[in-house]
């Protein structure tokens, strides 16, 4: 009995048709039929009731399908473990550049010195994409502002204040501090609502509590596009104080603090709330805490 025969059997049972299964497996129908026939001969039982255009499982076939599914899952997991050992264990990290860039690199440098076999990959995704990535098993860890929901367990790293990003040519760029009233009636640039719902809620609440009117002039998928829009003079933006901007006499954008500090962001590391968290992920969270000064 060979694994390829069992895979062919499982696909045929799922498809309910030799023709459909052959297309998925990229085999000719006669070749697939021979594999199934050889499996039946080895086991000494019929696995399918064959119709004109379809097949159905016999009682023996139902038993074999259940066992085959378990065996193939075990085999696939074994292959992944072997590959992980050969290639090094992966650590997939999602992060918000404006919130984590300044300390994330420090944590990675320290971590890789202690765990040289772990391969870190970084993903600059929106908070919604990171949350979905954790849920789908595409990310091991996310570093951003906490997102609503119970699917993620959060470890606080630090608090970050907010700043106003202003085109250098804008009249407000001459001020050292920005009063909330200065934002009334201004064209406002925001991270997109779908990708950053927590950011939207906080900004809208800030304006409503102060009876400020804002004209939303654009939504952007990340700090790079948001900063580019500010530099182009499209409007003002609220972003984390850790956002990196170019300085100097030729700078096209400036960053100014607010005269009152109502907006702070609790930057945190998020992992899946259910299941066992791998040791390498927990070790990286500890390095993040040290690098962030928490």
Per-residue pLDDT tens over the stretch 14-71: 999 989 999 988 889 888 899 899 999 989 999 999 888 889 999 999 999 999 999 9
What does CATH list as the number for 3-87?
1.10.10.10
Return the higher-pLDDT residue of 79 and 122. 122
Return the higher-pLDDT residue of 100 and 88. 100
Question: Mean per-residue pLDDT for 231-251?
Answer: 83
- CATH classification number, 90-156+266-292, choose in 1.25.40.10, 3.40.190.10, 1.10.10.10, 3.30.1330.10: 3.40.190.10
pLDDT greater than 70 at residue 272:
yes
Domain segments of the chain: what residues?
3-87, 90-156+266-292, 161-264
- d(CA 48, CA 62) in angstroms, rounded, equals 9
DSSP line for 76-117: HHHHHHHHHHHH--EEEEEE-HHHHHHHHHHHHHHHHHH-TT
Ranking 83-87, 101-105, 124-128 by mean pLDDT, the lowest is 83-87
Q: What are phi and psi of 111, to 5 degrees?
A: -65, -45
- d(CA 160, CA 290) in angstroms, rounded, equals 16
Please count the helices (runs of H) and the strands (runs of E) in the chain: 9, 11
pLDDT tens by residue, 157-198: 998 888 999 999 999 999 999 999 999 999 999 999 888 888
pTM above 0.75, yes or no: no
Q: pLDDT at position 248, please?
A: 62
3-87 and 161-264 share one fold: no
Angle subtended by helix axes 97-114 and 279-292, to nearest 10:
120
- CATH classification number, 161-264, choose in 3.30.1490.270, 1.10.3720.10, 3.40.190.10, 2.60.40.10: 3.40.190.10
**The pair of three-digit structure tokens given for residue 192, joined into one six-digit string:** 């997109």
| 77 — pLDDT class (breaks 50, 70, 90) | confident
User: Looking at residue 27, what DSSP letter applies?
Assistant: -
List, in sequence order, every beta strand (DSSP E) within the chain.
48-50, 55-57, 90-95, 119-124, 141-144, 152-167, 187-191, 215-220, 236-240, 253-257, 264-272
Q: pLDDT at position 229, please?
A: 94
- d(CA 29, CA 125) in angstroms, rounded, equals 44
Q: Which of 12, 256, 274, 5 is nearest to 150 (CA)?
A: 274
Asked if residues 248 and 220 have their Cβ atoms less than 8 Å apart, the reply is no
Residue count of the chain: 294
Q: pLDDT at position 50, please?
A: 87
pLDDT greater than 60 at residue 8:
yes
Q: pLDDT at position 222, please?
A: 87
Integer Rg of the chain from CA:
28
């Amino acid at each position: 009995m060979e694994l390829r025969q069992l895979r062919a059997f499982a696909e045929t049972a799922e498809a309910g048709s030799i023709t459909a299964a052959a297309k998925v497996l990229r085999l000719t129908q006669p070749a697939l039929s021979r594999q199934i026939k050889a499996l039946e001969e080895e086991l000494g039982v019929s696995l399918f009731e064959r119709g004109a255009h379809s097949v159905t499982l016999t009682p023996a076939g139902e038993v074999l399908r259940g066992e085959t599914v378990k065996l193939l899952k075990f085999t696939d997991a074994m292959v992944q473990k072997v590959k992980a050992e050969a290639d090094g264990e992966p650590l997939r990290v999602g992060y918000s550049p404006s919130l984590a860039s300044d300390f994330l690199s420090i944590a990675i440098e320290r971590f890789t010195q202690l765990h040289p076999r772990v391969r870190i990959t970084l993903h600059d995704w929106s908070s919604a994409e990171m949350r979905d990535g954790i849920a789908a098993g595409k990310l091991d860890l996310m570093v951003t502002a906490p997102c609503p929901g119970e699917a993620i367990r959060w470890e606080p790293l630090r608090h970050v204040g907010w700043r106003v990003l202003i085109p250098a040519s804008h009249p407000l760029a001459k001020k050292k501090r920005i009063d909330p009233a200065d934002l009334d009636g201004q064209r406002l640039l925001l991270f997109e609502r779908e990708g950053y719902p927590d950011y939207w809620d906080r900004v809208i609440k800030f304006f409503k509590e102060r009876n400020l009117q804002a004209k939303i002039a654009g939504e952007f998928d990340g700090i790079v596009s948001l900063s580019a829009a500010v530099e182009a003079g499209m409007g003002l933006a609220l972003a984390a104080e850790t956002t990196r901007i170019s300085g100097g006499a030729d700078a096209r954008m400036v960053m100014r603090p607010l005269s009152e500090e109502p907006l702070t962001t609790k930057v945190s590391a998020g992992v899946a709330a259910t299941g066992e968290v791998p040791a390498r992920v927990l070790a990286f969270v500890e390095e993040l805490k040290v690098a962030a000064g928490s």
